[in-house]
């Protein structure tokens, strides 16, 4: 009863609004996002083009992330999140109207650029959850949206089967625009700041100067306090970005699944992630982040390699379930680790560098972000298209080796913090 009361007390205010926002996003983005690579191919792109689109997006995201972190720590977080969400929502209009893949590249670059509000959003969430409950609350903020997200990739696949790829995708992006505008309204009206901000003025040059000057201090803090975590995050991002855009391409071209089949697999993965999120949160709170990260690696390393050996719909399902379990372990445990490690007054700037968690690189996993993270993400996306073109199995071989290296580094260099930050 005490635990239920505790969860009830924590699931309110900012946490409730951000969770509701993610629920609404889950109703829209997962209809189209798993099929973006196929959309690019249908608009005249190639395998290399897919990598280029993600590369351009990652480079564009680097530009303003330090600005987002600086504003979040200096001037406040809630207003930045609300206004930038409005800008992000407008990107879906370009996707919906795109006549060729170049417009997709433009839309994706614009979308990633305005995501500079993510450090502020991540900081608000971390600030709003008390120590001792972070595993459970992070788990709920994944499980509740994921429960909604369960059906949407399947709906996307069904729409493609019914209307063909391009009409279905355009319809999905229109729906995403409408949902995004409503999410922006909720965030502008109801989010509350968790720090006392000061006006930063309207001198854009000065803001850029101060923000990028603060990058040195952020990187210095990271090097002193969590360099082991950072190295692991960079490795996972580099390798994960080589495979992330190509799951559905490999599934449809090599394993010979249809978009509908992949949507059904995503449906099963969503059910798994929802259930596991509720379980993993308690585990992280009780045994710590580091052990859960190691368990994630143990599951993911062989599974990535085995994916290249299997054929058929029914062979993919159990393997994807294992990968979803691994992904859930990694995302929740790494999110809790960062929240426990970064002081409240620095969270915006540090999270602008590292994001809010680590991903193992599967479709439906958490979204890694941060100006340090975007560098290997851009490189991995560019290399992914080249490596996949040479041999479709090579990106998954690379990921298995990278996960092994990351697991060794985690074992020796990542330690749970004894005195957790508020």
- All structural domains of the chain, each given as residue ranges with its CATH number in brackets, are 11-193+202-413 (1.20.1250.20)
- Find out whether 316 and 257 touch, Cβ atoms under 8 Å: yes
pTM metric for this prediction: 0.77
Measured distance CA(123)–CA(194) in Å, rounded: 9
Residue 114 and residue 136: Cα distance in Å, rounded?
Answer: 30
Closest residue by Cα to residue 173 from 63, 323, 31, 273: 31
- Calpha distance 199→179 (Å, rounded): 31
Instruction: Return the pLDDT at 133.
Output: 64
Which residue numbers in the chain have pLDDT < 70? Answer: 1-11, 75-76, 130-134, 197-202, 363-368, 419-422
Q: What is the pLDDT of residue 200?
A: 65
Q: Are 187 and 82 in contact (CB under 8 A)?
A: yes
CA angle 392, 396, 401 (to 5 degrees): 140
Neighbouring residues of 12: CB distance < 8 A, sequence distance ≥ 6: none
- At residue 293, the pLDDT reads 96
Which candidate, 56, 45, 24, 42, places its Cα nearest to that of 381? 56
pLDDT at 197: 64
CA angle 7, 12, 14 (to 5 degrees): 125
* Res 157: pLDDT: 83
């Amino acid at each position: 009863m005490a635990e239920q009361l505790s969860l009830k007390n924590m699931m309110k205010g900012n946490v409730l609004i951000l969770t509701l926002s993610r629920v609404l996003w889950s109703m829209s983005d997962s209809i189209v996002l798993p099929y973006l690579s196929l959309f690019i191919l249908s608009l005249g792109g190639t395998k290399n083009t897919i990598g280029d689109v993600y590369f351009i997006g990652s480079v564009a995201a680097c530009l303003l992330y330090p600005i987002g972190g600086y504003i979040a720590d200096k001037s406040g977080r809630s207003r930045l999140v609300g206004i930038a969400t409005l800008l992000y929502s407008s990107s879906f209009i370009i996707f919906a109207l795109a006549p060729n893949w170049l417009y997709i590249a433009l839309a994706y670059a614009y979308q990633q650029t305005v995501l500079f509000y993510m450090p502020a959003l991540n900081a608000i969430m971390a600030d709003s959850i008390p120590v001792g409950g972070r595993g459970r609350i992070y788990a709920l903020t994944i499980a509740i949206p994921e429960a909604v997200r369960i059906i949407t990739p399947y709906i996307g696949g069904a729409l493609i089967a019914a209307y063909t790829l391009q009409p279905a995708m355009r319809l999905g992006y229109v729906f995403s625009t409408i949902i995004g505008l409503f999410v922006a309204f909720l965030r502008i009206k109801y989010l509350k700041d968790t720090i006392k901000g000061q006006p930063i003025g309207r001198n854009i040059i000065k803001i850029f100067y101060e923000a990028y000057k603060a990058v040195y201090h952020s990187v210095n803090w990271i090097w002193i306090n969590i360099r082991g975590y950072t190295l692991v995050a960079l490795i996972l991002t580099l390798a994960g970005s080589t495979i992330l855009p190509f799951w559905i391409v490999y599934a449809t071209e090599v394993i010979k699944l249809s978009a509908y089949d992949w949507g059904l697999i995503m449906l099963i993965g969503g059910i798994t992630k929802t259930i596991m999120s509720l379980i993993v949160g308690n585990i992280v709170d009780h045994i710590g982040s580091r052990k859960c990260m190691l368990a994630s690696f143990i599951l993911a390393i062989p599974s990535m390699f085995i994916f290249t050996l299997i054929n058929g719909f029914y062979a993919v399902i159990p393997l994807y379930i294992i990968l979803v379990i691994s992904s859930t372990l990694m995302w929740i445990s790494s999110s809790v680790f960062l929240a426990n490690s970064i002081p409240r007054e620095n969270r915006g700037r540090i999270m602008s560098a590292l994001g809010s968690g680590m991903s193992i690189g599967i479709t439906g996993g958490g979204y890694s972000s941060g100006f340090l993270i975007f560098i290997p993400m851009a490189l991995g996306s560019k290399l992914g298209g080249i490596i996949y073109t040479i041999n479709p199995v090579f990106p998954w071989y690379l990921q298995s080796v990278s996960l092994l290296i990351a697991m060794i580094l985690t074992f020796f260099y990542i330690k749970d913090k004894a005195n957790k930050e508020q």
